[in-house]
Structure 1
């Protein structure tokens, strides 16, 4: 009997699949893989992981004649479990997905215990989330971050991968941290993330009182922040080469992040970015953030003078026109104008044009208020007319609806 070509192809594929499966079993056997009655894997630290029945189906029903038991791959700790998965040729990404899912299940109970829910919720009772103001939610958030860092350490020890980056990939999202530090190998990026997040947590603990109360930092708090910054720089310096540290500062330092915000809409070149970065970094080294005693008049005056010198240096470096664009990027109103333009689908250049109305009105208003010949009432009346004229011009340029939206956003 003559066998058709499609049937012959199917037979060959089936034989190949059976041969591959037999090879995997024989290889696993030689490496000591034995069937076990569903042991419970544990982490290297001795923490039990979820049971196999919760994690994987015990039987592959598609191979009834030669049933494949997932329990053959299981072990009492995750390290051996990972080795056995690799031994049968399981793709590395699949191994990561399995282990991350297991670790998430393992820690789920701890996360739920941070803010437990009532077993029964009557219709006249508020949900726990609606009562969040009865608690200091920062405590929950901090503990959740601690658990996430603990999970990240476990995954790093097991597979050598960065949990935060892996979660972003699984969601189809781009990890901004990895993008900025793409010039570094993955293991260094992971270590840097840990350093940055650790010191951010410690810095947050010091600054929270100031954020809550609006009070200035004490001398002791400023000293603690200075020591944290020195330790952070020391750890980064030990991990990175001088060239890598320079690129890290240009990519991810607070100075660089603030500068990219201020260059918004300018389309700065690499040369401009580096030049402005060096000037601002020099100023921040001489006048560290949070180290200026705002209660001392002499210090405040000296700081203001140094800031004016920096502005003049930047103007000389960039030129008048580019410096004006640099200043524009520091104004939140320009950012909001661009958001308004995008929301209503207007031409992009109208944001800059509308901002120019604001800038000219503000400039003219300042001239009026500084006039030595006008009375206070005249100054108030003329300033109001200038503001009204700027609003009229903006309405005409971008439309009534977008203008109202912008005004609400900047109120």
Structure 2
């Protein structure tokens, strides 16, 4: 009983003390709000907000080139001037950008003789359209730059334009036009070295009364080819050789009138180039052995070309290699007869020439018999020509032949 009494008294006293403490803390709270100390506590809350505002301001003024660039060239120039860019630098930037734009436009429409690399002579109508388009694009380019930079920019461009090389390789087409300037310069150097060394060899041989040595020429060509293969990948190398190699020039001459498509020309060129490369790397040591290997490679080339072109087209190719046929085809064009007339005209001329040679070299004929045989052969030839060409064209043909005979 006594312990229960003291326990209840202790609880009551604790409750009384707790109530007094709670009342005192409620009375002191207003004083704490109005005292200076809490005011100092509030300040850090405001200060970070000001720091954040300052940081945002700094990020807004960070310079980016995209703030200057614009698809609108007039705005682009205005932006460059607004940031204090020197006029000479503005001119360089704008001229380079505009030139790049119009280079892409020219590549899309222009056709040069190097673009029609499979032809001996480019299509005149296509070339005319291309040149007209090129002139129009050049006028547009100059008008745009004049409007952007003022009329004086043209004088500055002429003053700073690099000297154009009069000779040497040309870098046209979608592949070669993208080559780096360093690669182009290295190719020019290699080409100039080849030309100089070939000229030196020809001069040295001439001084000794000798023709150029094919082995020396092959060695120099091999060094040049090795340099090209080091500078260019396979696609770039083929595009370069199609436009800038003596082999491609010879192929265009051989194929005149063959009307090869780009694909056919590539196939023919690859076959010829493969053989030429083998000759460059030939291990023969005498001109006679070199010539023997060349003839052997020619036989291999014919078999490969027949496989690639097909039998009928290959026969046309072979026929086109005959100088007499090429001359006959040109004659047919001059006479204005249909193209299909060229082949029978060639066959008449060829058969007549072979028969005439056989008559003249026949040891069993007397002079009178030989003369009579030749006269019969000529009568048969002229009758066949008249039947093929018609009277009017035949008369034109005979007049041209007589005129050509008198001029020789």
Q: Give the number of the structure whose residues are more often helix, by fraction.
A: 2
Scaled by the length of structure 1, the TM-score of the pair is 0.47
Scaled by the length of structure 2, the TM-score of the pair is 0.47
